[in-house]
Amino acid sequence: MQQVLTKNNFTFMDKHYLQRHGTAMGTRMAPSYACLFMSSLEERMLSTAPCRPLIWWRYIDDIFFIWTSDEDSLLTFINHINSFHSTIKFTSDYSHQQVNFLDVTVRKEHGSLSTDLYTKPTDTHQYLHSSSCHPRHCKSGIAYSQALRLRRICSNNSSFIRHTDALEKHLIARGHSARRVREAIQRVRSLSRSSTLAVKDKKGRDCDNKLPLVVTFHPNLPPLQKITSNNHNILLTSDRLQRAVPEKPIIAYRRPRNLRDLLVRAAVPPLTSNPTPIQHGTFKCDRTSRCIVCSHHIVESNSITSHSMQLTHKTKGHITCTTTNVIYLISCRVCGIQYVGETKTTLKKRFYGHRSTVNTMKTETPVGEHFNLPNHTINDMSLQGIESLGSRPDLVRISRERLWMQRLRTIQPHGLNIQEGHD
């Protein structure tokens, strides 16, 4: 805890700063530490106040209290709490009739307090869209949970009905099923407010004893909860696994990378005044005399041409025999027929594999078969890079390979590729 409070370092405009007061924003301990600090502070602050409120309720840094004395003593109290600490200050909003606290409006009506929903004027009601890439249960539970929230907040039933009608319209506008939204709201309308405010007994819940299976969410994932439930008996056949996983595990989804993660950086790299432009094309390495691939096969060029279609395409990226994650093109110097391939490893290592199929006469592969034909030799193979994919994932590389097969028309009988995605 001392490290977090005294060693918080951050950068801004290429300069390092050390936070000297308070706790670091964003750290997990910050809310708990702030609550502990405020609990101690308000205990001392209230005990020394000349006049105290009837009740004092705090949620982190938002406070609701009821004042029963006159307005002058209230202002004296506010001045007292604002002068109690050098950096902790309070802003106040008070009224004889109603105040807003978090998402609740508290009113004084006929000698008692009533509560209603409070929304900020800037609230656009942008609930999670039904097409959003989230687990189904996250979206299906929105209508019920929001309606339940309204039932707890609204002390007047007519206000509750009015707000749930508005909720229904907002959710339908966000693409949610009208039937399911109405069913969820109706379920909540059938509940009494007192039952929703009652403290739930959590005894008997065995969730704490279950092992969570944490998986990064993807919409194409199979029904993992159903699969683990149906096959949990297999784990119970092992004494060791039975002790480790006695109950059916809970599936917990981890959020995948979203657009914000892909587009936003915490530290923006400095802009260079004259950035060196990337030289696109296929190039030989600086050890050409000792590199078999470069000396015998690589064709230096900034473009590739489809033999069957006679169309030319620009090479994407700077590609040499040591480039990884690349789409490449093998052409026959005798008849011009072509083959498109992809590799995660270096282009040189993958091409050695093709040379091996020719040298060992593996005619079950298209490259090995073609360059073992009469009047063909291993030296008739030419090699060019098509596209360098950098750090992009395997699925992207495989899909780009299929795309280039179509663009260059290299699938048999026009080329050597047997079918999309296969050697």
Q: What is the pLDDT of residues 88-141, one digit of tens each?
A: 999 999 999 999 999 999 999 888 999 999 999 999 999 999 999 898 888 999
Determine the 3-state secondary structure of 100 from DSSP. Answer: strand
- Structural tokens at position 389: 């994919």
| CA distance readout (Å), 396 to 385, 399, 400, 401, 405 | 16, 5, 6, 9, 14
How is the chain split into domains, by residue range? 2-94, 207-254, 281-408
Give the residues across from 384 on adjacent strands.
329
Architecture of the domain made up of 281-408: 3-Layer(aba) Sandwich (3.40)
What pLDDT, on the 0 to 100 scale, is given for residue 4?
80
Instruction: Please write the tens of the pLDDT for every residue from 251-285.
Output: 999 998 888 888 887 777 766 666 678 899 999 99
What pLDDT, on the 0 to 100 scale, is given for residue 207?
60
Distance of alpha carbon 381 from alpha carbon 102, whole angstroms: 72
Angle formed by the axes of helices 142-153 and 157-173, to 10°? 160
Contact, 341 vs 415, CB < 8 A? no
What pLDDT, on the 0 to 100 scale, is given for residue 205?
59
Contact, 185 vs 147, CB < 8 A? yes
Distance of alpha carbon 356 from alpha carbon 376, whole angstroms: 15
What pLDDT, on the 0 to 100 scale, is given for residue 202?
66
| CA distance readout (Å), 68 to 78, 360, 368 | 14, 96, 93
pLDDT band of 420, cuts 50, 70, 90? low
What pLDDT, on the 0 to 100 scale, is given for residue 421?
46
Kindly report which listed range (13-22, 155-164, 219-228) carries the lowest average pLDDT score.
13-22
Q: What is the mean pLDDT of residues 54-82?
A: 93
Please report, rounded to a whole number, the percentage of residues in the chain having pLDDT higher than 70.
96
What pLDDT, on the 0 to 100 scale, is given for residue 289?
79
pLDDT band of 422, cuts 50, 70, 90? very low
Contact, 54 vs 68, CB < 8 A? yes
Contact, 407 vs 304, CB < 8 A? no
What's the whole-number average pLDDT of the chain? 89
Neighbours of 371 (CB within 10 A): 24
Kindly report which listed range (199-208, 291-300, 358-367) carries the lowest average pLDDT score.
199-208
Backbone dihedral angles phi then psi of residue 156, each to the nearest 5 degrees: -100, 125
Alpha helices in 68-209 (DSSP H): 71-82, 136-140, 142-153, 157-173, 178-189, 193-197
Contact, 201 vs 242, CB < 8 A? no
What pLDDT, on the 0 to 100 scale, is given for residue 6?
81
Contact, 84 vs 41, CB < 8 A? yes
The closest of 337, 335, 365, 339 to 353, measured between CA atoms, is 365
pLDDT band of 316, cuts 50, 70, 90? very high
Owner of token pair 């390092």? 16
Q: Give me the sign of the Cα torsion angle 171, 173, 177, 181.
A: positive
Residue 19, Ramachandran bin (φ over 0: left; ψ between -120 and 50: alpha; else beta)? beta
Q: pTM value?
A: 0.60
What pLDDT, on the 0 to 100 scale, is given for residue 423?
46
Distance of alpha carbon 406 from alpha carbon 386, whole angstroms: 13
Please report, rounded to a whole number, the percentage of residues in the chain having pLDDT higher than 90.
65
